[in-house]
Amino acid sequence: MNTINFKYSEKKRGSMAMKFLLIGIAGIAATYYIWFLADREFLMGKVASIFLALLGIGSFIYMKFTGNKSGVTALSIGPEGIKGDTTPISKAGGLIEWTDITNVHFLGNQLDIEVHNPQKFADRMSNFFVRDTYLKSMKGVIRISLSEIDYTEKELADALSKYAQNINS
């Protein structure tokens, strides 16, 4: 059996970049309104609007000019296991062997993988914040984002079902 690779999609990345641009524009509009037109001054409103503007414009620039390039493998499903590079946790966790997987959930734009021994994967993660998020917030679930990947639900379901018998419950 061969490894099935899913690549980053230029079209989906461009669509996400445009959504962040809209968030940035909304933040700029809110900043303008709060600073120059509003009768009352709200410190939290000023901070939140500036944050939205910076987040939106910064994310747009990152995704448009320096993000992952199309054609690069984002998700691999093969006889050894699953390897995802779309989130910091999945990238740091490395290859997730089928024998370590207890359950796989496909939920819209994400793939959640439950493992027997979360500490095994936490030991692979050198960044403290990634490891801490994995153990405390994610509670040992490795989440792979599918929002930038070029796939159809049928392709992904077929790839997962091909190796699903290897899951060691």
Please write the tens of the pLDDT for every residue from 129-155.
988 888 888 888 898 888 888 888 888
pLDDT in tens, 70-124: 678 888 888 888 998 888 888 888 899 988 888 888 887 888 889 888 888 888 8
Residue 151 CA: distances (Å) to CA of 25, 91, 148: 30, 19, 9
Cα separation of 95 and 86, whole Å? 13
pLDDT classification of 58: cutoffs 50, 70, 90? very high
What's the pLDDT score for residue 50?
93
pLDDT classification of 25: cutoffs 50, 70, 90? very high
Q: How many residues does the chain have?
A: 169
Tell me which of 143 and 66 has the higher pLDDT: 143
Q: With H, G, I as helix, E, B as strand and everything else as coil, classify residue 127.
A: coil
Cα separation of 59 and 90, whole Å? 21
Residue type, position 104, single letter: V
Tell me which of 2 and 28 has the higher pLDDT: 28
What's the pLDDT score for residue 148?
82
Asked if pLDDT for residue 19 goes beyond 80, the answer is: yes
Lowest mean per-residue pLDDT among 13-22, 36-45, 145-154: 36-45
Query: How large a percentage of the chain has pLDDT more than 90?
Result: 16
What's the pLDDT score for residue 27?
94
Helix segments in 7-152, DSSP class H: 10-32, 43-61, 88-93, 118-122, 128-132
DSSP 87: S
